[in-house]
Amino acid sequence: MNKIFFFLGKGGVGKTTLSASLAYYLREKNKTVYWASIDPAHNIYDLLSLPASPKVQKIEAGLWVEEIDVDRYLRRFLEHIQEKAQKVYQYLQILNLDKMFKVIKYTPAMEEYACLYALKEVFKKHEDKDYLIIDTPPTGLMLRIFSLPFVTELWLKELRHWREEILKRRQIVAHIKHVDFGPGAQLEFSKDKVFNELNAQQKDMQYLKDVFTNPKKTFLILVINPDKLSLLEGKRIVETLNKFGIPIKIVLLNKTGHSMELKELNFFNDLPQKKIPLFEGPFPKQVLLKIASLWVEDAYL
């Protein structure tokens, strides 16, 4: 089983820098690493001074990098739905995918689902790598992504129940009377496509929940700075994830200087923490490795 590291924290606290330090550290230990960002602001390539690319890039032996293009995943998902729908509904042929994409992209929670869908694909596609490192999008979005499998599962449970009741009644009616339920309509649970789709979705959500909550597989790293706003945001992250039973592995107090008398820091006292001082930039590989040596423990690996 490979391991997945997520870096969370307010904008600018050092998520990308610290995820880079872990990626290089793991490479020094000869592990294979897939390092990705689902941040729409995309800054892994900035840090590496490489031109942006929509593809997975191998930047050195055993190290792959990707800026996950969430829009592409959303588009692919919609294309897939459209293809299936067109087989059934002739009138959908008139729908224009570009228009549909624009509307649906701004439908509530659609971006979150696209991210979740992208993550699921990425987890499966890179199962062969020893470590997956995920640099996350802004906090609000990321917390909603983490909560989605839990929320969706409630809906799935409800819809499955409804569907079961519908199919049971169809069976009763068909047993006594000859009724044509129309094209595609099924009586058997195992043949009903709606029921099968609900089951498939439930399996996906269960898989994601298992990944998010497995403390042996998934490590959430919270990055904070000694400033009030990043600490408050860090607190919100811990509290929200707690509700879903997603544990924080370690808190990295990045950019620490001498003045550390913030009362907001007390909240994190019960969590394992490491301090990382302010470094003078820039951050070439050697510096990143030095940063890693301050916080990465072989116990995480």
Partner 1 sequence: MVLKQIKDFLSQFGQGFKEASIDQIQRELEEMENAFALLICGSLSGMPAPPAFLSLCLLPYMERELKIMFSKTIFLDDKLAVWSDLVEL
Tokens of 268: 């994190």
Would you say 104 or 265 has its CB closer to partner 1? Answer: 104
Q: Which of partner 1, Mg ion, ligand ATP, none does residue 281 bind to, with CB < 5 to 8 Å depending on kind?
A: ligand ATP
Q: In whole angstroms, what is the distance from residue 5 CA to residue 208 CA?
A: 14
Q: Which stretch binds partner 1 (CB under 8 A): 11-19, 28-36, 154-162, 246-254?
A: 154-162
Element (H, E) at 283: none
Q: In whole angstroms, what is the distance from residue 28 CA to residue 31 CA?
A: 7
Stretch 110-149 residues interacting with ligand ATP (CB under 6 A): none
Tokens of 183: 């094209």
Answer yes or no: are the C-beta atoms of 152 and 146 closer than 8 Å. Answer: no
Answer yes or no: are the C-beta atoms of 156 and 185 closer than 8 Å. Answer: no
Q: What would the x/- binding string for ligand ATP be over residues 8 to 47, using CB under 6 A?
A: -x-xxxxxxx---------------------x-x-x----
Tokens of 7: 């870096």
By CB under 8 A, residue 72 contacts partner 1:
no
C-alpha distance from residue 274 to each of 78, 150, 161, 222, 262 (Å)? 43, 30, 47, 11, 16
Calculate ∠ Cα 149-153-154, nearest 5°. 130
Least distance from Mg ion to the Cβ atom of residue 15, Å: 5
Q: By CB under 6 A, how many residues form the interface with ligand ATP?
A: 18
By CB under 8 A, residue 197 contacts partner 1:
yes
By CB under 5 A, residue 139 contacts Mg ion:
no
Q: Which stretch binds ligand ATP (CB under 6 A): 110-118, 235-243, 258-266, 272-280?
A: 272-280
- Binding stretches for ligand ATP (CB under 6 A): 9, 11-17, 39, 41, 43, 254-255, 276, 278-279, 281, 283
